[in-house]
Structure 1
Amino acid sequence: MPNLPTEIWFRIFENLVSWNPYEAKNNGALLRICRNAFSGGLPVIYFFPKLNAKNYAKFFNTISETDFGKLVHHINLTNISYTSKASITSRLLRRCAQNLESFSGPQTGLGFTALRALSNCSHLKKIDLSVLSERIDLQYLFAGIQNLQYLEYIDFPALSKFSPGHNESWPPSLVHIGFAGAITDGFIAESSFPPSLKSVNITNCPQLTDTGLFTLLSKVGTTVTSVTVQYPMAELSRNALDCIFQLCPYAGIISIPANYITSNLFESLSESGVSHKVEHLEISYSGSLLTAVSLVKADDIVSALADGKLPQLRRLQYSIRLGWKEESEDVQDLVDLIDDQGGEVFVSVK
C-alpha cells in the first residue's frame, strides 16, 4: 500500500468520508502511512477538519505556519468554548479565506476584527453564529457580509446590539435568514431583503413586536417557502401570528408556537376563499395547560380541512402540551381528514 500513487490515496481518503462529506472528520493519523498518503489525503482531511478544545491550538498553529489554509472549505467552531480568542478566530479566517464555504462560530464571542475578516472569505455560502454567548455589534457583522455575493445562509446570534445611525444592506443571494437578538421593528422597516430569500427562522428577538413581525412577513411572505417562529418572543401578542397564512401564501413549511396564535388563524383562512400551499404544519407550545389562555383546538384545523382550505397539508405535528386527547372525536376526525389527503399526524413533546 505505501507504493500506491497519490491519486489512489486521494480516492481512499475521499471514500472514508463519502457517506457525508460535509461532516467534520479527523483521520489525520492516516496521513503518517507514507509520503503519497500524506499528499493524497491532506486535501480531504483539511476540507472539513474536526475541531475541538484539544486540537484547536495545534490546528491554528499549523494553518499559521503553512499554506494549508487554502485546503479548508468548512470551519465549525461550535465545540470550541473558552479556548477560542477573538483575535485567533480573526487570523484563522484570514488564513482560510481563499476557499472557505461555511463558518460556524464558537461558543464564546467574535470581536469586530473577526467579523470584518468575513469579508475576505469571498466564497462563503453559510454563516452560523447561533451559539455565540457574548454580545456582538451587528454593525461590524454587516460590514463583513454585505459584499459576499455567494452567501446563502446566515443565522444571527441571540446576543447582539446595533450601533445607531447605520443603514445595513443584505447580501444579494441569501436563501435563509435566522433572525435573533437585537432585531427591532425599525431595523425590519428599513431593510430591503433580497428576492432570493426562501426561508426565515425567527426566535429570541426580545425587541420585535407585532408590528415588526407583520412588516417582516409582508416584505418576504410572497417569496418564502419555509417560515419558522420559535418561542420565546417576548413582545409578541397572543394573536401575533394569526396573519401568517395570508402573508405567506406559498410557504410549504410553517412551524409556529401556539403561544402566538388563536382559532382566528384558521377561521381567517376559511374567510379568504383561497386554499393555502402549506404541506408541513408544526404547532409547538411552551406553556401550561393550567393557564386561562384559550389555546387553538384540533377542531379548528378540522374545519379548515373540511372546507378544503388546506388541500396540500400532508404532515401535521402538534405538541402534546396542547392537551389534544388522541382518543377524542376531534383528533380522530383530524387524523382521518389528513389521511384522506395522503398525510400523517404526529405528536411531539415540544
Structure 2
Amino acid sequence: MTSALPIYLPTEIVVQIVAVVAADEFARQPTLYACCLVSRQWYSCAIALLYEKPQIDTGFGFTKFTKMISPPIGARKSKWNLGALVHKLDLSSLVHHSSPSLTARLLGRVKDNLEIFYAPRASFALNSLPALSKCSKLHFLDLSLVATPIPFRDLKKSISNLQNLQALRLPQSTSITNSESNSFEIPWPPHLRRVQFSGYFTAAVMHSFPWPPSLTSLALKNCSDLSLSNLSSLMCSPDLSRTLKRLTISGQNRYLSPECINAILAFIPALSFLSIPGDMVDDTFFDLLCHMSIPTLEVLEFGYPGVDSAVYFTTEGLLGALEYGLPNLRAAGFAEIFCSGDGMLDDDAVDDFLLNRAESKKNEPGAVVSDSTMHVQPGVYYV
C-alpha cells in the first residue's frame, strides 16, 4: 500500500494562511513559529512575520531572541538577516535580563527597519544612544521606563537626525536644569508631533525651553514637581500656544493641585483635547470655563485620580460648563471609578446632553469636526 502524496499548496495560499495566523495577537508567536517548522516553503512565508514584532516578555524568550538576532561566534547562522525583519521591539517587560551593552548590540542588529521601540528599565543607558541614532526608520520611541540618568543633551543629539520620528516618551530620569541649556540649540526631529514629558525641571529654565516646532500633542507624566509655578513656566511658551492641540496631564505627577488644573485654561486657549486627573477638578474649573469659553475643545477627559477617588465637582457644574463654556464639546471621558457609588457623577445626564446637542448640530451648515477628534463618537466614554 503506497502512502498518499503530500498535498502541495501554492505559495500564494500559504501566504494567506500565515497572514490569518498573524492577525491573532494572542496566539501569533507560537503559531507562526510552528508554521516555520512545516517546510522550507512555509518557513519562507512565515519567518518575516515571526520576527516583525517578537513577543519578548520573559527572560527565557529574550535569551532565545538575542541568540538568533546576534548569535555567538562559531554558532550556526540563519541565511536571513533576522535583525532586518524586526519592525517593533518591546523590551518594556524586561528588568534584569539584559545589560546596556547587549541592548546597544541589539539596536545595532535591528536598526535597518525598526519603527517602534520600547526601552527596558534597567538596561538602556548612555552607550545605547549611538545605536539608537542609526535607527533611521524609527517613528515611535518610548523611553519612559528608563531609570538610568541620561544627559538630556546627549539624548536630544542622538535623536535629532531621526527624520521619521513622530512620537517620543522621555525617560522618567530626565533632568533639565540650567546646565542643560546648551542642549536647546540642538534641533528636534523635524516631524516630532507627540511628546510625553517626564522627570525633573526647574521653572527658570523652562521659560526658554524650545519645544518641537511641529508639536501638537503633549503629555505630562511622572514629573517630579508639577507645582503651579513649574507648570506655569512650562506652559507659558508661545510655541505651545501656537501649535498644541492635545494636552494630557496624568495623575502620576508630584505636587499637582486643582490650582494647577485651573491655570491651564489661561495658557492653552486653543485645545481640541484635554485630559486631566478627575480628582484635581472642582467647580471652580467649570466656573472659569463659563467665563472664558473654549470653543475649540471637543473632548474633555477626567482621567484616573492622582490622590484619591473622590469627586470634588458636581454634575450640575459640568453641565453648566457644557452649556456656556464648551459649546462644541462632543465627548466626555470618565475613569469609571468616578461614575459608581453614591454621590458620584451622573454620567447618563452628561451623555444625554452631549447626544442631544450632537443631534441638533448635525444638520447645521458649516459644521466642522477637527481631524484630531473626528474618530470620537459623541457622548460619554470610559477610560
TM range (shorter): 0.7 to 0.9
Map of 2:143 onto structure 1: 129
Map of 1:170 onto structure 2: 188
Alpha carbons of structure 1 residues 105 and 308: separation in structure 2 relative to 1, 3 Å = closer
Matches within 5 A, 1:121-270: 121-161=135-175, 164-165=179-180, 166-168=182-184, 169-218=187-236, 219-270=239-290
How far residue 63 of structure 1 moved from its aligned partner, in angstroms, is 1.4
Give the aligned length: 343
Alpha carbons of structure 1 residues 255 and 35: separation in structure 2 relative to 1, 3 Å = same
Establish whether residue 40 from structure 1 lines up as the match of residue 45 from structure 2: yes
Whole-angstrom distance in 2 between the partners of 1:338 and 1:8 = 48
Establish whether residue 25 from structure 1 lines up as the match of residue 29 from structure 2: yes
Establish whether residue 71 from structure 1 lines up as the match of residue 71 from structure 2: no
How far residue 249 of structure 1 moved from its aligned partner, in angstroms, is 3.6
Alpha carbons of structure 1 residues 37 and 187: separation in structure 2 relative to 1, 3 Å = farther
Question: Which secondary structure does the structure 1 equivalent of 2:200 belong to?
Answer: coil
Unaligned residue ranges in structure 2 (runs of 5+): 1-5, 72-76, 359-377
Q: More displaced, 312-321 or 201-210?
A: 312-321
Question: Which secondary structure does the structure 1 equivalent of 2:59 belong to?
Answer: coil
TM-score normalised by structure 2 residue count: 0.77
Whole-angstrom distance in 2 between the partners of 1:336 and 1:79 = 41
How far residue 93 of structure 1 moved from its aligned partner, in angstroms, is 0.3
TM-score normalised by structure 1 residue count: 0.83
- Give the aligned CA root-mean-square deviation in angstroms: 3.3
1:55 corresponds, among 61, 70, 88, to: 61
Alpha carbons of structure 1 residues 87 and 36: separation in structure 2 relative to 1, 3 Å = same
Alpha carbons of structure 1 residues 154 and 3: separation in structure 2 relative to 1, 3 Å = same
Whole-angstrom distance in 1 between the partners of 2:174 and 2:257 = 23
Deviation string 1:245-292 (CA, Å, 9 cap, x unpaired) is 4433443321112454443322222222553423243254333588xx
Tell me if the contact between 1:242 and 1:262 (Cα under 8 Å) persists in the aligned partners.
Answer: no
How far residue 59 of structure 1 moved from its aligned partner, in angstroms, is 1.5
Q: More displaced, 240-249 or 74-83?
A: 240-249
Alpha carbons of structure 1 residues 81 and 233: separation in structure 2 relative to 1, 3 Å = closer
How far residue 345 of structure 1 moved from its aligned partner, in angstroms, is 3.9
Whole-angstrom distance in 2 between the partners of 1:30 and 1:283 = 43
Map of 1:297 onto structure 2: 314
Whole-angstrom distance in 2 between the partners of 1:195 and 1:24 = 39
Tell me if the contact between 2:295 and 2:327 (Cα under 8 Å) persists in the aligned partners.
Answer: yes
Establish whether residue 91 from structure 1 lines up as the match of residue 99 from structure 2: no
Whole-angstrom distance in 2 between the partners of 1:266 and 1:25 = 49
Question: Which secondary structure does the structure 2 equivalent of 1:25 belong to?
Answer: helix
Whole-angstrom distance in 2 between the partners of 1:83 and 1:289 = 36
Establish whether residue 109 from structure 1 lines up as the match of residue 123 from structure 2: yes
Question: Which secondary structure does the structure 1 equivalent of 2:168 belong to?
Answer: strand
Alpha carbons of structure 1 residues 4 and 144: separation in structure 2 relative to 1, 3 Å = farther
Tell me if the contact between 1:320 and 1:347 (Cα under 8 Å) persists in the aligned partners.
Answer: no
Give the partner amino acid of 2:315: A
Whole-angstrom distance in 1 between the partners of 2:271 and 2:25 = 29
Whole-angstrom distance in 1 between the partners of 2:17 and 2:338 = 49
How far residue 332 of structure 1 moved from its aligned partner, in angstroms, is 7.1
Question: Which secondary structure does the structure 2 equivalent of 1:12 belong to?
Answer: helix
Question: Which secondary structure does the structure 1 equivalent of 2:229 belong to?
Answer: helix
Give the partner amino acid of 1:95: R
Tell me if the contact between 2:280 and 2:305 (Cα under 8 Å) persists in the aligned partners.
Answer: no
Alpha carbons of structure 1 residues 25 and 223: separation in structure 2 relative to 1, 3 Å = farther
Question: Which secondary structure does the structure 2 equivalent of 1:310 belong to?
Answer: coil
How far residue 324 of structure 1 moved from its aligned partner, in angstroms, is 8.6
Unaligned residue ranges in structure 1 (runs of 5+): none
Whole-angstrom distance in 1 between the partners of 2:319 and 2:52 = 50
Question: Which secondary structure does the structure 1 equivalent of 2:192 belong to?
Answer: coil
Identity fraction in percent: 25
Question: Which secondary structure does the structure 2 equivalent of 1:180 belong to?
Answer: strand
Tell me if the contact between 2:96 and 2:123 (Cα under 8 Å) persists in the aligned partners.
Answer: no
Establish whether residue 307 from structure 1 lines up as the match of residue 324 from structure 2: yes
Question: Which secondary structure does the structure 1 equivalent of 2:133 belong to?
Answer: helix
Map of 2:368 onto structure 1: none
Alpha carbons of structure 1 residues 298 and 276: separation in structure 2 relative to 1, 3 Å = farther
Map of 2:354 onto structure 1: 338
Give the partner amino acid of 1:317: F
Tell me if the contact between 1:63 and 1:92 (Cα under 8 Å) persists in the aligned partners.
Answer: yes
How far residue 38 of structure 1 moved from its aligned partner, in angstroms, is 1.7
Map of 1:118 onto structure 2: 132
Whole-angstrom distance in 2 between the partners of 1:189 and 1:303 = 35
Bigger CA radius of gyration:
2
